[in-house]
Amino acid sequence: MDMWRTVISRLFIINFIIGFFLLASCEKDPANQPVIEKQTITIFYTNDEHGWMEPFNDLAGGASGMLGCWKANEGYDDSDAFLVLSGGDMWTGPALSTWFEGESMVEVMNTMGYDAAALGNHEFDFTVNELSENVSKMNFPVLSANIVEKRSGNIPSFVKPYELISSGEIDIGIIGLSSLSTPYSTFPDYVEPYEFIPYEEAINTHAPILQDMGAEIIIIIGHICEQEMIDLIPVAKKYNVSVIGGGHCHQIVSRQIDGVALMQAGAYMAAYAKVELVYFPETKVVNLIQNEFIINEDGYSDQSVESVIEGWRSMSDSELTMKIGYCEETIVQESIEMGNMVVDSWFYTFPDADVSITNAGGIRQDIQQGGITVETIVGLLPFENTLYELDLTGAELLDCSRNYLIGGMTTLNGNSLSDGTPIHNDSVYQVLTTDYLYSISSNRMSEYDPDPDYTSVHYRQPLIDWLKSINSSAEDKLENYLDYVARK
């Protein structure tokens, strides 16, 4: 019996000692808080969503499918272990977002649990007032460290330069960047009060602030293209930035350079980037475990997002669903016939004009095979642009039209109007264009005609009216009325 008491006593002492050292090894501070040996952070990243809450051209799962996929395949549960981020350009696109000036897309992204988004150039499309209104309804911040007010030098009130987010026991700093092209890739008047400073300058200003605030991991989310992301790697390394997210160019980027993960997920919610990091608090080391590009394949659905989308669709004006035409085959966004149709339609409203000029970037999607509705055309031409009528000499006309889509003229086999009349350098022509193109100083339209006729006609309305007038149908398809001949 004494022998067993001795054995038990010794075992008790040994277990006590082991327990003591195990507890001591987990101590973080005098309060005996346990040390976290490591923490995994998973980032889901999208960019250039452009209001595609519903599936893009029926090729992917849309917002509902995206969230359903995250939950089913990634274990997403809206906990601190996940960050959901956007590279900007969130809402200009299909009618279901454009018609409501982005408010519907804001609610969708709130429901999906986004934590932060970069400020894209198209966030300005509905004016700064509407941008501010949308931001006020967001459950997450819009970030841009490189936009400042020209007058004061301060960051505008509708954005923040950075955000510090707690993920479990880890503080993560997120810096936003906006494209340096913003002054001319959105309506210039809307951004005239602001200056967009170099990316590196903005990072050098704000990354040290985040470090002083205790950020253990720093992430950059930018509305910037792949080469711009690569160019930022030296300054990223300076501040131990782990990840750079991009946007604007609709690229697929999933790579690692010099220890920095680069991510960009195409566009239109058709895919997402996934980056997985492991952080070791004691050594302050961040390891990249995973960096991949994942297609948002159809087959998943999240009811909470579906309900939001259904709610906004029920509020859509009945005008949107009005059928105004039919095409037998899909008319592709970049096709000759698409561009010709848009610029030619303006002559339906302004028959006395000689020439029409627009930018290809103002045409934003295909016209799918089948019935055409007003909603189709709102998504096709989603910007709040109106038409101007200019008086230009032939020489000025040829100078202004070089890089754009043209109607009423051709530059093939000589410069002539559509009826074959030669364009004379000193003759004056009536030219239709958008207020957006007119406002861009690089094309000299405003220099050549400083007092244009402001028509107040939205740039999509003539196309809607023309489609109604021809009354295309399965028996008399739209293709019968299109011009497939190049003009340049």
Q: How do the domains of the chain map onto residue ranges?
A: 39-313, 321-481
Residue 297 has pLDDT above 90, yes or no: no
Q: Which CATH number fits domain 39-313: 1.20.58.1610, 3.60.21.10, 3.40.980.10, 3.40.50.410?
A: 3.60.21.10
DSSP code of residue 318: G
Q: Would you tell me the crossing angle of helices 103-112 and 127-136 to the nearest 10 degrees?
A: 30
Q: What digits encode the pLDDT tens for the residues 17-74?
A: 333 333 333 334 444 555 568 999 999 999 999 999 999 877 668 999 999 999 999 9
Q: What digits encode the pLDDT tens for the residues 66-87?
A: 999 999 999 999 788 999 999 9
pLDDT of residue 61: 84
**Secondary-structure percent of the chain, ordered helix, strand, coil, rounded to 5:** 35, 25, 40
Please count the residues of the chain.
488
Q: DSSP string of 397-466?
A: HHHHTTTSEEESEE-TTS-EETTSPBPPTTSEEEEEEEHHHHH-GGG-HHHH-SS-EEEEEETTHHHHHH
Q: Work out the mean pLDDT of the chain and round it to a whole number.
A: 92
Residue 196 has pLDDT above 60, yes or no: yes
What 3-state class would DSSP assign to 51?
A: coil
CA 219-249-245 angle, 5° bins:
10
Q: What digits encode the pLDDT tens for the residues 109-121?
A: 999 999 999 999 9
List, in sequence order, every residue forming a beta bridge with 149; answer none if it has no partner.
194
Q: What digits encode the pLDDT tens for the residues 366-386?
A: 999 999 999 999 999 999 999
Domain 321-481 has what CATH class? Answer: alpha beta
